[in-house]
Amino acid sequence: MVRLFSIAGLAAGVLLLAAPAATAEDAPAQGGFNVFGWYLSRAHIGVGFEPDYLGSNDYRFAPSGSISFARRGAKPGPWGAPDDGFSVGLVGDETFSAGLVGRWRSGRDDKHDLRGLDKIDGTVEAGAYADWWPAEWLRVRGELRHGIGGHDAWSADLGADAVARTGPWVVSVGPRLAWADNAFTSLYFGVTPAEAARSPLGIAPFAAGGEFWSPGALASAEYRVNRAWSVTLVGGYRRLTGDAAKSPLVANLGSKDQYRASLSVTYAFQP
């Protein structure tokens, strides 16, 4: 944990040094990377502390980041959650918007607890998203994606966030629900007889099936240094259920409880 706080301090220091002369009235830079009428609206980069693999009870540090594009002339949503996918807004306004979304799901190696198991390549998940603000303080977002590369499965995420703004702070908290189809559950939580025979840890074969469901929650605290720059601290939790929780990769070697934390720096561009 000392290393986590050291990285957090370094990231915050870099942000403050990057804009020492900025004030709360400074305007963001003009959005660059214009593509067919869309502009780069947000970009953030950070570091996360997360499970070594889905279902693991070992944790690692990993880089994180995302970018969002919006239609020039359209007003982007007033706030974006730190776990949103890479987004390209196609239609909508500040109340409702929708478009394309993408995520990167990390691969899984065959080391440590996973010795003898087949590797899983990293995967691009591409699909569509929708944002809805039924109230000024409440946002609901849904994403539906399909894997391209490491898996050939459908997955989705649904979340709601209560958002409070006070001075330079923006604080959010809300529930999360992840879903994936049978192909996803089988790939990430199944153990074939050949894999069980190769494993030195004595795990039994397991035919994982059914849909993957994982409820959880996410909380974030964002400090807006000015209109362009902000720093965000995030904490999240998910619970594995069904065959994912019964898999020996989770029940014997890992944990049903999955935690994550991250610190990121965000820059918002103006249209």
Structural domain includes residue 27: no
Selection from 43, 79, 42 nearest residue 64 by Cα: 43
Asked if the structure places residue 244 within a domain, the reply is: yes
Q: Could you tell me if residue 166 is inside a domain?
A: yes
The SS3 of residue 247 is coil
Task: Give the position of tokens 């979304």.
Answer: 101
Q: How far apart are CA 218 and CA 160, in angstroms?
A: 9
Mean pLDDT of the chain, nearest integer:
86
- pTM for the predicted model, two decimal places: 0.83
- Amino acid identity of residue 98, one-letter, is A
The answer to whether position 63 is within a domain reads yes
Domain count, the chain: 1
Residue 251 token pair: 């029940």
What is the model's pLDDT at position 160?
98
Three-state secondary structure readout of 181-226: CHHHHHHHHCECHHHHHHCCCCCCCECCCCCEEEEEEEEEEEEECC
pLDDT digit string, tens, across residues 28-80: 655 555 666 677 888 889 999 999 999 999 999 998 877 777 776 655 567 88
Structural domain contains residue 167 = yes
Q: What is the pLDDT of residues 17-37, one digit of tens each?
A: 334 434 444 556 555 556 666
**CATH number of the domain within which 235 lies:** 2.40.160.40
Q: Which amino acid is at 202?
A: G
Domain range spanning residue 232?
A: 2-21+33-268
- For residue 81, being part of any structural domain is answered with yes
Give residue-wise pLDDT tens across range 215-256.
999 999 999 999 889 999 999 999 999 999 999 999 999 999
The tens digit of pLDDT for each residue in 161-189 reads 999 999 999 999 999 999 999 999 999 99
Rounded Cα distance, 70 and 38, in Å: 5
The residue type at 211: E
Among residues 62, 151, 66, which one has the least CA distance to residue 101?
66
pLDDT at 19: 40
Q: If you search the block for the tokens 């939790």, which residue do you land on? A: 237
- What was the pLDDT predicted at 119? 94
3-state SS class at 42: strand
Would you say residue 28 lies in a domain? no
Q: Is 175 helix (H, G, I), strand (E, B) or coil?
A: strand
How far are the Cα atoms of 44, 181, 239 from residue 188, in angstroms, in the given order? 29, 11, 15
Average pLDDT for residues 83-95, to the nearest whole number?
87
Q: Give pLDDT, residue 34.
A: 65
* DSSP structure class, residue 251: H
Is residue 57 included in any domain, yes or no? yes
